[in-house]
Structure 1
Amino acid sequence: MTVYSAVVTTGVYCRPGCGARPLADNVRTFDLAASAEAAGFRACLRCRPYRMVGSVPWDAPELVCRAVRLIIDGALDDGGTEAALAARLGWSGRHLRRMFLEHLGLTPDQLARSRRTHFARRLLDDTDLAVADVAFASGFGSLRQFNRAMRETFRDTPNGLRGRRRRADRLVTDGGLAIRLGFTPPYDWDAMLASLDARRVPGVESVDIAERCYRRVIMLDGDPGVLEVRPGGDDHLLLVAHLPYWEGLIHVVERIRHALGLDADPEALPHLGSDLLLSPLLRARPGLRVAGAWAPFEVGVRAAIRVRCGREETTEQLARLVKEHGVEVPGLPHGLSHAFPSPEVLAEAGLEVEGPFAQAVASGQIRLDGSMALEDLAAAVEAVPGFDRTAARHLAMRLGERDAFPDGDPLVRRALNKLDPALTDIRKAADAWRPWRALAAQHLIAHARTLPGQPRDAEQPSAAA
């Protein structure tokens, strides 16, 4: 994972690869930029570590990892408290705070503030948004709070920081707001695009293979918007957001990052790459990522239909579902026409296939926000009529559960049988790939699809989310 270096004598912390060469005795290391800031260090002006999106240590306790995920989704924005966050996870605020200090070196509130200030700094660098718009787009509740946080983190005012931006940072686009979505290479955008195309919801999403562009309709507090993502550079994609307002933009960016699998832990590659079975697959596709989900409910509805239908029929049923129950957004190009219906709408529609899942989500029986442990989530999904173990774990994979492993998927089994015909216990073999079994499954599925004689729609209905 990314390790930030902080120099005691200068009070500055840097990203990996910075040209600074301090004495080793004067250097402290931190797993997160926010941890370095909590210890009193400020960002280097040369390497600008705030432009990177760091990751939590892979061996951090599950409670910490899930809390970080909820913080990224905005649990501590708009008046959210540490106590309320802890309660969602079944713990006390004091225990959560202690775990954060022990494993990350900062409190949940400090992590949330660092995340907001870093996002705001990138907007000041890359866009021409007014300072007030930057403040509310980054999740701050007031300009006073924003100015104070920026001074404490970067030792300057927002206007002063914008005055120091580099000419190459500024992004200009013909319509919409352009934002860089950084990632740690390698990243296979074409493979991700193909995965999105195979599972797209007609009317809600569109994929243009020739332009290498993904588009989708979103809803922000009842108002529609459109997102476009295309290649941007060796270490970033380019998001162009067409939104009714910029407030809460940080949440839009985090959700599309999750949907595109941009925040994968770099530690997974060396771990899985050392495995004799998987190493050839990772060498063949080093940039393959597990696709996430913009809206987990959409993925669950697709899974509910896919359990019973083939891929083409699933796509047709989704198109009808969106047309009949979705929110119409007229006048959009590229085949976009609707926003996906909410759980409450589908729960009341009396649908035989999708209805039970929608009711479970609307009632809170299934929580798709990452607050449920993997096995608890899988058990809750399997309790819904029509879902089995494999479908539940495919859904968990798309929700970002890095250790979800659909061992019953025919493609996973076919790939493993080809790689090791003598293998009899798939679950035991997969234990060696913890905690990144979802990425291992993604590589196995991709490999199975390249094997001779593989039919176009080889996945069994129960095996695809």
Structure 2
Amino acid sequence: MTTRAEPRTRLDAESCYAAVKARDRRFDGLFWTAVRTTGIYCRPSCPARTPAAGNVTFHPSAAAAQGAGYRACKRCLPDATPGSPGWDVAAGVAGRAMRLVGDGVVDREGVDGLARRLGYSPRHLARVLTAELGAGPLALARARRAQTARVLIETTDLPLTEVAFAAGFASVRQFNQTVREVYAVTPTQLRGRRTAAPTTGEISLRLAVRTPFAGQALLSFLAYHLVPGVETAGAGFYARTLDLPHGPGTVRLELDPALDEVPGGGVALLTARFRLTDLRDTAAAVERVRRLVDADCDPLPVAEHLGADPVLGPLARALPGLRLPGQVDGDETAVRTVVGQQVSVTGARTVGGRIVAAHGRPVETGEPGLTHLFPDAATLAEVDPETLPMPRARGRALVGLSAALARGDIALDRGPQRDQVRAAMVALPGIGPWTADYVAMRALGHPDVFLPTDLGVRTALKRLGQEPAVAIARAPEWSPWRSYALMHLWQTLMPAPPTTEDD
């Protein structure tokens, strides 16, 4: 089998079976095991008795196992695993497609819409996905809907009719049929004896992440960079508004310090409390928050690689579960990056808050401190640069970037290839390599970006007793995890995580 960080088009049966015999949790979400004698498929770490080698086959996706006629194991819940870290490492067509499928693009725009975002014909896209993931776009979307439905059935009190549409099904009949086929039980049987309650648009879900998970470091970063009105943070939590396809929403992410103590090589569950205007946005909201917390990262190979470096080794060994903070909206990330050019983080927060107050959409959230959606690109494209609270050249760059985003000249939804996005960004006036690369790292989830001219990098290296030019020359050796190397350096400059509700 190839390394865990790489996508696989073929599965080495011998290596896969060895992982199954060892019940190795590190391979959960990287392949699925189907057992001919039982007709079920499992994650590699399933605690059930190991089947004979001749009775198993291995599949690159849950959808592939379902398409082969297998139903999900009720014991190990094989669909409830983090995704493949290879989706972001290689950022190939399959990985980019899975990000968009998870966001509900197939449900909203169909296979044609998915193919258009990726730059392929629907027929060619189906061939590529079938070759790499063992299933086409419709089957992958169906598997995602089934998993979302199961989570909602088992963890919420939503009426089953509302679960059907929240999970993305077009009808209750389709919902019932899919649940029966995938789980071999009816939705009512999945729920058990719990009774449904009228929905208030509030849903509490658990998001799976691989361990170790440095949640407090993630909280420190998000709290330090938050924009007033859009984000808030306090002891053990981070919350923000969400601009979703069918309406606004919010999420409050619980980052209990105890999560940092969960041993590596397993899975931890983060609690995310969503408040949604339209329950059809459930899948999109979940996917975007998963991107925010870098949920599909496999931290062990990252820590192992960086831990061998004389500069980064002590940092990686001290914080092996460090994550690369992502985003819930690529356009917002790009705008905020321009706002932060050549100013302190505190200054960027202040300016961002002013822009939100002047141009953001006010929303009622019920969450203290959350008052606005971040202004969308179309709104900012119409703003007079002279009125923005920043130097004129930067204001013009911000408006020009917003116009390109609004026209669709640049798409930050992880559909296009990263190199194409970067080239389009640096072609815009006022957008340089630092901005384009930072956006690639945060908005596109690029794990191998380094910012050699960044002042924070140089300051961190000096504090570590390193000569910046000498240490930065080592950066190519940190590939393919240079974004995580960057985060380790920045983390040395971060304040402690919030300790009160007001921080």
Normalised by the length of structure 1, the TM-score is 0.86
Match of 2:482 among 432, 437, 442: 437
Confirm or deny: 8 A CA contact 1:32 1:56 kept in the other structure. no
1:238 is displaced (CA, Å) by: 1.0
Confirm or deny: 8 A CA contact 2:227 2:352 kept in the other structure. yes
Which residue of structure 2 aligns with residue 317 of structure 1? Answer: 351
Residue 416 (structure 2) pairs with residue 372 (structure 1) = yes
Give CA-to-partner distance per residue, 1:14-62, whole Å, 9 cap, x none: 2233222222332323343223222222211211212223326467671
Which residue of structure 1 aligns with residue 238 of structure 2? Answer: 214
Aligned positions of 1:95-244 closer than 5 A: 95-163=124-192, 176-208=202-234, 210=235, 212-220=236-244, 223-231=247-255, 234=262, 235-244=268-277
Q: 153-162 vs 282-291, which deviates more?
A: 153-162
Distance in 1 between the 2:292 and 2:358 partners? Answer: 25
Match of 1:258 among 288, 291, 301: 291
Q: Which amino acid aligns with 2:344?
A: G
Q: Which amino acid aligns with 2:486?
A: A
Distance in 1 between the 2:230 and 2:212 partners? Answer: 29
- Give unpaired runs (5+ residues) of structure 2: 1-26, 263-267, 386-391, 496-503
Confirm or deny: 8 A CA contact 2:231 2:370 kept in the other structure. yes
Residue 98 (structure 2) pairs with residue 72 (structure 1) = no
Q: 242-251 vs 438-447, which deviates more?
A: 438-447
Aligned positions of 1:386-401 closer than 5 A: 386-399=430-443, 400-401=445-446
Structure 2 SS opposite 1:55 = coil
Structure 1 SS opposite 2:227 = coil
Aligned positions of 1:330-409 closer than 5 A: 330=364, 332-351=366-385, 352=392, 353=395, 354-399=398-443, 400-409=445-454
1:390 is displaced (CA, Å) by: 1.6
Distance in 2 between the 1:88 and 1:269 partners? Answer: 30
Q: 100-109 vs 274-283, which deviates more?
A: 274-283
1:253 is displaced (CA, Å) by: 1.0
Which residue of structure 2 aligns with residue 89 of structure 1? Answer: 118
Task: Give the 3 Å change call, closer, same or farther, for CA 55–239 of structure 1 in structure 2.
Answer: same
Which residue of structure 1 aligns with residue 337 of structure 2? Answer: 303
Distance in 1 between the 2:58 and 2:144 partners? Answer: 19
Structure 1 SS opposite 2:414 = coil
Structure 1 SS opposite 2:295 = coil
Which residue of structure 1 aligns with residue 10 of structure 2? Answer: none
Which residue of structure 2 aligns with residue 411 of structure 1? Answer: 456
Confirm or deny: 8 A CA contact 2:461 2:471 kept in the other structure. no
Distance in 1 between the 2:59 and 2:90 partners? Answer: 14
Residue 28 (structure 2) pairs with residue 6 (structure 1) = no
Confirm or deny: 8 A CA contact 1:33 1:54 kept in the other structure. no
1:287 is displaced (CA, Å) by: 1.4
Confirm or deny: 8 A CA contact 2:446 2:483 kept in the other structure. yes
Task: Give the 3 Å change call, closer, same or farther, for CA 51–384 of structure 1 in structure 2.
Answer: same
Task: Give the 3 Å change call, closer, same or farther, for CA 5–104 of structure 1 in structure 2.
Answer: same
Which residue of structure 1 aligns with residue 14 of structure 2? Answer: none
Structure 2 SS opposite 1:263 = coil
Residue 59 (structure 2) pairs with residue 30 (structure 1) = yes
Distance in 2 between the 1:60 and 1:329 partners? Answer: 38
Confirm or deny: 8 A CA contact 2:130 2:136 kept in the other structure. yes
Which residue of structure 2 aligns with residue 453 of structure 1? Answer: none
Aligned positions of 1:262-277 closer than 5 A: 262-266=295-299, 268-269=301-302, 272-273=305-306, 275-277=308-310
Confirm or deny: 8 A CA contact 1:218 1:339 kept in the other structure. yes
Confirm or deny: 8 A CA contact 1:356 1:385 kept in the other structure. yes
Distance in 1 between the 2:213 and 2:346 partners? Answer: 28
1:415 is displaced (CA, Å) by: 5.2
Which residue of structure 1 aligns with residue 11 of structure 2? Answer: none
Distance in 2 between the 1:118 and 1:65 partners? Answer: 18
Give CA-to-partner distance per residue, 1:158-214, whole Å, 9 cap, x none: 11222289x9xx99x999321111211111111111111111110111011x2x111
| Identical pairs, percent | 38
1:118 is displaced (CA, Å) by: 0.8
Normalised by the length of structure 2, the TM-score is 0.80
Aligned positions of 1:46-61 closer than 5 A: 46-55=75-84, 57=86
Match of 1:63 among 93, 108, 113: 93
1:127 is displaced (CA, Å) by: 0.9
1:309 is displaced (CA, Å) by: 2.4
Confirm or deny: 8 A CA contact 2:102 2:283 kept in the other structure. no
Kindly report the root-mean-square deviation, in angstroms, between the aligned alpha carbons of the 2 structures: 2.9
Q: 411-420 vs 359-368, which deviates more?
A: 411-420
Q: 266-275 vs 43-52, which deviates more?
A: 266-275
Q: Which amino acid aligns with 2:296?
A: D
Q: Which amino acid aligns with 2:241?
A: V
1:358 is displaced (CA, Å) by: 1.0
Which residue of structure 2 aligns with residue 247 of structure 1? Answer: 280
Which residue of structure 2 aligns with residue 463 of structure 1? Answer: none
Q: 187-196 vs 138-147, which deviates more?
A: 138-147
1:362 is displaced (CA, Å) by: 0.7
The number of equivalent residue pairs is: 442
Distance in 1 between the 2:438 and 2:90 partners? Answer: 24
Q: 225-234 vs 413-422, which deviates more?
A: 413-422
1:361 is displaced (CA, Å) by: 0.7
1:7 is displaced (CA, Å) by: 1.8
Confirm or deny: 8 A CA contact 1:416 1:423 kept in the other structure. no
Structure 2 SS opposite 1:120 = helix
1:93 is displaced (CA, Å) by: 2.4
Distance in 1 between the 2:416 and 2:134 partners? Answer: 24
Structure 2 SS opposite 1:239 = strand
Task: Give the 3 Å change call, closer, same or farther, for CA 160–93 of structure 1 in structure 2.
Answer: same
> Greater RCO between the two (CA within 8 Å, min separation 6)?
2
Structure 1 SS opposite 2:75 = coil
Residue 317 (structure 2) pairs with residue 283 (structure 1) = yes
Q: Which amino acid aligns with 2:332?
A: E
1:261 is displaced (CA, Å) by: 1.7
Confirm or deny: 8 A CA contact 1:78 1:141 kept in the other structure. no
Q: Which amino acid aligns with 1:369?
A: D
